[in-house]
Amino acid sequence: MEEIIGIIDIGSNSMRLLLAELCDDKSFRILNELKEYVRLGHGLDENEILSKDKMNFALLTLKTYKKICSAFNVGKITVVATEAVRRAKNQKQFLDLIKAELQLDITVLSGEEEAYYDYFSTINSMDIGDGLIMDIGGASCELILVKNRKLVHCVSLPFGAITLTDHFKLTDCLDKNTEQELKQYISNYFDALDWLKDAKGMNLIGIGGSIRNLSKIHKKRLNYPLNLIHNYQISGDDVISIYDEIKSKNSIQRKKIKGLSSDRADIIVGSSAAISVLIEYCSINNVVISRNGIREGLLFSHICKNNKPLDSALDFSLYSILKNQNSNLSHAEHIHFLLSRLYKEFKNHINTCYKLDNIIKTSALLHDIGVNITYYFHNKHSFYMILNSQINGLTHRELVMSAFIAASHRDDNIENFNEYAEIISKEDMETIKKLGILLRIAENLDKSMTGLVKNLIVTLDETTAIIKTISEDTPTIEIKEAMAAASDFKKAFGMKLYIV
């Protein structure tokens, strides 16, 4: 049985709606996302009273979101609010207004709850063990220290993109005195966190529109080939370099910076300063961007029993895709088994310093998903579907390599490697070619999709590779089809191939 849920996050800068379809097996698919810049944080006056105009704008937005939920036959709508509503002294008036007009109950999250959902969205969508998570929103900044995949410390600090902009008047170019005051103000909060010293040298996982915008600017600079932000990596030095560029311009000039959203140009200086201060404070070398946040954390709380994190973000993501694409699961798993067996035997002939397990798993399990477009040239469809399926738990390098290998399961005539030279190296290309040939052999050894070939025994010497098939019946067709790769195999591995 399937259930459609709606999750609305009332932030200090924007209000967002997430629609997702949940299945009994706990797989899900995102149906729609919407965002409106309501900027409730700007509606707080010096007495921390939400303005009537901002409350009415929020009401109008929620009314629209509720209509969209009705159109999607949403069974349950979860609405949460964060710092702006949390601080508002007329909070009850706002909650009562929404309840009376729309019959929606809003849960005002504490700072710790907000940090927890940031953690839960991250741990279930990224392959991380240790790291420092930073979510800088419009009026608050959450910091979460993760060790061995567990939340160790968290805090919600009372500053964000909007509040810093208003407090330090940051819409114009940033002068040295104001910058010094701004950085000291932020550092004072960090100084109060004894546990922050434990994050020295860790990866920083960045959540929120401000840090996503910095990465988009970086991607534009590189002419980055992937239209993906989740798991995008940028050095701490490059983040600071972008901040230095932004701070030297006024809000009108910032709108001309490629990659920077015009809706965020007036509030980006304060938040990027906070990110830069944290990078320097914790000696952070690498920043990893997450597109997920509170909404996805709430989504995973619907999926994970007793809020226990997923064992593997990658496995959950891959099997959700296979389910949503109505793929032949037993065939996909058998190809993964056969490719893993072949890789184990030929591992010494594939020169790389990287672990390839995630790449092998992804390319094998998803090699056939392009069939849903059309069987003809489905390997090419698999290529771009893998690149654009929002697979969690993979680096961009692993994602691109997986897509190329999957596309190679029928022939070598695949996409141009040079387009992705920013992501994969020449060494990676050699690995792709060799694993692509092994995948082609594995795929053809299950040509009937019945699992006829149960296992493989490989014998190697300097000039010859013999693959012996283990099966109850002689797999004549499978062997013939697999042997079609013999010529390409010899070019790649320098050995004659025999399959018996």
Same domain, 323 and 248: no
Q: The domain spanning residue 363 has which CATH number?
A: 1.10.3210.10
78-96 pLDDT tens trace: 999 999 999 999 999 999 9
382-406 pLDDT tens trace: 999 999 998 999 999 999 999 999 9
Same domain, 317 and 463: yes
Q: Which residue has the higher pLDDT, 415 or 274?
A: 274
Same domain, 58 and 164: no
pLDDT at 136: 95
Characterize 385-416 residue by residue with b for buried, 16 or more Cβ atoms within 10 angstroms of its Cβ, and e for exposed: bbbebbbbbbbbbbbbbbbbbbbbbbeeebee
pTM recorded for the entire structure: 0.92
Which structure tokens are listed for 159?
A: 């500053």
337-359 pLDDT tens trace: 999 999 999 999 998 889 999 99
The burial class, CB within 10 Å (0-12 / 13-18 / 19+), for 309 is middle
pLDDT at 414: 60
- Taking Cα atoms as reference points, which of 284, 229, 213 lies closest to residue 396? 229
* Residue 472, in any domain of the structure: yes
Same domain, 169 and 249: yes
Same domain, 325 and 460: yes
Distance of CA 482 to the CA centre of its chain: 36
pLDDT at 413: 60
What span, in angstroms and rounded, lies between the C-alpha atoms of 323 and 22?
Answer: 12
Q: Check whether 416 has a pLDDT greater than 90.
A: no
196-246 pLDDT tens trace: 999 999 999 999 999 999 999 999 999 999 999 999 999 999 999 999 999
Same domain, 320 and 453: yes
- Taking Cα atoms as reference points, which of 354, 168, 175, 196 lies closest to residue 271? 168
Chosen domain end from 241, 266, 295? 295
Residue 209 CB partners (closer than 8 Å, separation 6+): 13, 14, 137, 161, 261, 264
* Residue 283, in any domain of the structure: yes
**Averaged confidence pLDDT in the chain:** 94
- Taking Cα atoms as reference points, which of 107, 116, 110 lies closest to residue 76? 107
- Taking Cα atoms as reference points, which of 4, 22, 33 lies closest to residue 293? 33
* Residue 378, in any domain of the structure: yes
Chosen domain end from 82, 108, 134? 108
What span, in angstroms and rounded, lies between the C-alpha atoms of 385 and 373?
Answer: 10
Characterize 141-172 residue by residue with b for buried, 16 or more Cβ atoms within 10 angstroms of its Cβ, and e for exposed: bbbbbbeebebebbbbbebbbbbbbbebebee
Q: In this structure, how many other beta carbons lie within 10 angstroms of the beta carbon of residue 330?
A: 12
Q: Kind and range of the H or E element at 480? A: helix 476-482
Same domain, 372 and 471: yes
Alpha helix (H) ranges present in 139-264? 161-168, 176-191, 209-222, 236-247, 251-254
Count of the separate structural domains present in the chain = 3
Q: The domain spanning residue 54 has which CATH number?
A: 3.30.420.40
The boundaries of the domain holding residue 260 are 112-295
Which structure tokens are listed for 197?
A: 């010293």
Same domain, 487 and 363: yes
CA of 178: how far to CAs of 160, 230, 273, in Å? 16, 33, 11
Name the residue type at position 82: T
Q: Check whether 173 has a pLDDT greater than 70.
A: yes
Q: The domain spanning residue 215 has which CATH number?
A: 3.30.420.150
Same domain, 248 and 342: no
Same domain, 454 and 398: yes
Same domain, 428 and 356: yes
Q: Check whether 412 has a pLDDT greater than 60.
A: no
Residue 469: strand pairing partners: 456
Strands 233-235 and 286-289, by their bridges, are antiparallel
Same domain, 167 and 277: yes
Residue 145: strand pairing partners: 132, 153
Residue 100 CB partners (closer than 8 Å, separation 6+): none
**Torsion-angle region of 295 (φ positive above 0: left; ψ -120 to 50: alpha; else: beta):** alpha
What span, in angstroms and rounded, lies between the C-alpha atoms of 30 and 299?
Answer: 10
